Homo-oligomer: A and B are copies of this chain.
Amino acid sequence: MNLLTSPLLTDLYQLTMLHAYYAHQMGETAVFELFVRKLSPQRNFMMAAGLEQALEFLERLHFAPEDLEWVEKCGKFPRGFAAHLARLRFTGDVHALPEGTIFFPDEPILRVTAPLPEAQLVESRLINLAHFETLVASKAARSVLAAPGKLLVDFGLRRAHGAEAGLLAARASYIAGYAGTATVTAAQRMDIPVFGTMAHSFIEAHDDEAAAFQRFAEACPQNVVLLIDTYDTELAARKVVELAPRLASRGIRIRGVRLDSGDLAVLSRNVRLILDEGGLAEATIFASGNLDEYRIRDLVAARAPIDGFGIGTSLVTSSDAPYLDAVYKLQEYAGKPRRKRSSGKATWPGRKQVFRHYDGAGGLEHDVVSVEGDDQPGEPLLVPVMRKGRRLHAPEGLHAIRERAAGQLAKLPERLRMLESAAGPYRVEIAPALRKLAAQVDRAASEVPALCK
- Chain A positions within 8 Å of B, measured between CB atoms, are 1-4, 6, 8-17, 19-21, 23-24, 26, 30, 32, 66-67, 70, 74, 76, 116, 120, 123-125, 127-129, 131-132, 135, 155, 157-169, 182-185, 187-189, 194-205, 207-208, 210-211, 214-216, 218-220, 222-223, 229-233, 235, 239, 242, 260-263, 289, 313, 316-319, 322-324, 326, 328-330, 333-334, 336, 338-345, 445, 448-453
Contacts and interface: CB of A to CB of B under 8 A. Distances in A.
Given A158-B11, A196-B11, A205-B333, A313 B317 contact: no
A262 B344 CA distance: 7
Contacts of A20: 198, 202, 215-216, 219-220
A164 B135 CA distance: 17
A159 B131 contact: yes
A85 to B, nearest CB: 12
Contact of A11 (B182, B231, B449): B182
Given A167-B3, A205-B116, A8 B185 contact: yes
A351 to B, nearest CB: 15
A23 B219 contact: yes
B9 A124 contact: no
Given A16-B197, A205-B333, A168 B162 contact: yes
Given A17-B198, A162-B128, A164-B165, A344 B204 contact: no
Contact of A319 (B123, B162, B211, B323): B323
Q: Give 6 nearest A-B pairs by CB, closest first.
A: A12-B196, A162-B164, A13-B196, A161-B161, A20-B219, A161-B165
Given A208-B448, A232-B341, A261-B342, 5 more contacts: A1-B189, A67-B188, A207-B448, A239-B451, A263-B343
13 contacts: A4-B4, A9-B157, A10-B157, A11-B196, A66-B188, A127-B159, A163-B164, A200-B340, A208-B452, A230-B342, A231-B341, A233-B343, A260-B342
Nearest to A214: B453
